[in-house]
Chains A and B, each alone.
Chain A
Amino acid sequence: MIEQNLCLLLVVIPLIAAPVTAMLPAGRSPWLFTLVITWLCFALSIWQLTIVLDGSTISYELGGWAPPWGIEYHIDALNAFVALIVSGIAAITLPYALRTVEKEIQLQETSLFYALFLLCLVGLLGIAQTGDVFNLFVFLEISSLSSYVLIAMGKQRRALTAAYQYLIMGSIGATFLLIGIGLIYAETGTLNMQDLHQRLQPILDHRTVHTGFVFMVVGIALKLALFPLHLWLPNAYKYSPSAISVFLSATATKVAVYIMLRMVFTVFSTSFLKITHTEFIFLILGAFGVIVASMAAIVQHDLKRILAYSSIAQISYMVLGMGFASTLGITATVVHVFNHALMKGALFMAAGAIVYRVGSSRFENIYGIGRQMPWTFAAIFVSGLSLIGIPGTAGFISKWYFMLAALEQQAWLIAFVILLGSLLSVVYMWKIFEALFFHRLACTAPPVTEAPLSMMLPMWTLVLANIYFGINTELTVGVAETAVRLLGVTAYHE
């Protein structure tokens, strides 16, 4: 009974829980309730992944309407993997959120805060689960609208302008996606992804299809903060409440990467990508994104802003992987989606712990703080190494696959960019290490103590996961390879 409705339950449970949370009395009860729900979702998504891990698919007809007329949830390894990342990060963020939310959010707003968190989770999980492009748009807007509000709940007034800017850019992106979907629908008369793929193949040279494709790609690129459409991201991550920067940085843009994969490879096809030369655009924008965003990270004077710019650079890596349009390239992208969620989750948690104790993430306020918060600093250090791609960490695995994909196609310039991006990340991570550990204390700063245990445990869980998945790649690479096979991407041939 549960197993048959598994993929729907994953969306419906948080959806029903959200209004319930909003009605709970302010305080710790909404937090506890949300915790239970997210852990339940996490368990269900693990279950779902074990079902599809062997390469099989689940097809769920909503309301008993057979596809392509009804909405279908079509789950393969990639869907289940993304759902696992989203619910896993949500489950690990929640214990961390308790203390930061008590400090950053007014007491009477806590129920609403957790309700919105659940709504955002619904949207992201829904995107991962659905097999219908219009349904996907609706879930995208559910997650976006709730994340605008969550960002605006930040303490400083600039959180409001950051949320406003994100709202404008995000809505333009979503509307572009909507135009694209409309044009594709006008050509094919269907919204089901599998059905769209079938019907699009004979008419891939129609101009309407091309126009629709362009609108879709640009719209999704806005949501995934692809260079040069990334302007909303740094402020949104910097000024949002700590728990939200952790959750959004680890999931929101990754889900957008998933949408791009799904649209480009499942709805259209690899051959369409090559006919339209979109892979060159991906390669060029990805390469520029890696370099420009890493350079921008180097000149920042704020811990959270460095991490935000670094996120843009890492997303550009994922776009590079898509640009290779080969088995290895997409495998690298999917693996990096997972690994980047681990490292950025850990880094933003550590940054949030420092903000919790000091009240700021600007360098002049946190000089030398690493000596007073050694465990937090150690977490930044290890996940920083993972971000750079030191062997033995998760980051190394994804960088390794990116290099393999580049070398396979003898794309020397791109291989150089990948290495250069790693070198630049050494520079900006070193800047953080230097400021936090080696710099002398700001003389006016009162001494601080280590972050509370409830924040330390989730942070270190993610840090240890960084090391574990750097050594045992069975889950990440295994799932990625199955997923890529089902996407219909073929190995690169000369």
Chain B
Amino acid sequence: MIDIIIGHYNYWIVILLMMAGFYTVINRGNLIKKIAGLNIFQTSVFLLYISIGYVNEGTTPIIAEGFTRYANPLPHVLILTAIVVGVSTTALGLALVVRIKRAYGTIEEDEIHDKDMSL
């Protein structure tokens, strides 16, 4: 039992971050906080991929004398791409928030909703 909790601690962190981020996206009305939540949510997936690539007693995947076990580099490379995607999503989302703030004068979801309805 202890083994499952301690031995997989990185996966527990992944789940914790994932749920915290996902909850923030859904629950918060502030557009910036939503983006922050989305970011945490995506970061948890990066950690998941990095954990998958780990091999027991494996070292950095560079061929060297005296090492035979290496970590799997492929998930790490994949996640570099996903990080780029995440950064662009964040940048685009924040740019949209700037434009929304200019157009509406607020970044609170319910206030934006009220302004749209009052037209």
Q: Which residues of A contact B (CB under 8 A)?
A: 134, 137-138, 141, 145, 148-149, 152, 157-158, 160-161, 163-164, 167-168, 171-172, 174-175, 178-179, 182, 185-186
Contacts and interface: CB of A to CB of B under 8 A. Distances in A.
B2 to A, nearest CB: 21
Contacts of A148: 92, 96
A164 B75 contact: no
A138 B48 CA distance: 18
Given A152-B99, A167-B89, A185-B75, A172 B41 contact: yes
Interface in B26-61: 31, 34, 38, 41-42, 45, 48-49, 52
The 7 A-B residue pairs with the shortest CB-CB distance, nearest first, are A157-B103, A186-B52, A141-B85, A164-B96, A160-B100, A160-B99, A171-B89
Contacts of A167: 89, 92-93, 96
Contacts of A157: 100, 103-104
A160 B96 contact: yes
Contacts of B93: 164, 167-168, 171
Given A157-B103, A167-B89, 4 more contacts: A145-B85, A157-B104, A161-B112, A167-B96
Contacts of B49: 182
A164 B35 CA distance: 10
B19 interface: no
B78 A134 contact: yes
Interface string B69-91: 00000010010011001001100
Nearest to A163: B96
Contact of B97 (A149, A164, A171, A179): A164
Nearest to A179: B45
Nearest to B90: A171
Nearest to B85: A141
Most buried by A among B22, B49, B96: B96
Could you tell me the dominant secondary structure of chain A's interface residues? Answer: helix
B25 interface: yes
Given A138-B81, A161-B116, A167-B93, A182 B48 contact: yes
B31 A171 contact: no
A171 B42 contact: yes
Contacts of A138: 81, 85
B92 A145 contact: yes
Contacts of B34: 168
Contacts of A174: 85
Nearest to B18: A179
A172 B38 contact: yes
Contacts of B97: 164
A186 B72 CA distance: 11
A164 B112 CA distance: 12
24 contacts: A145-B85, A145-B92, A149-B92, A152-B99, A157-B103, A157-B104, A160-B103, A161-B112, A163-B96, A164-B96, A167-B89, A167-B93, A167-B96, A168-B25, A168-B34, A168-B38, A168-B93, A171-B38, A171-B93, A172-B25, A172-B41, A175-B42, A182-B48, A182-B49
A222 to B, nearest CB: 12
Given A167-B92, A172-B38, A185-B52, A161 B81 contact: no
Contact of A178 (B38, B82, B96, B116): B82
A145 B91 CA distance: 11
B99 to A, nearest CB: 5
Contacts of B112: 161
A166 B38 CA distance: 13
Contacts of A161: 100, 112, 116
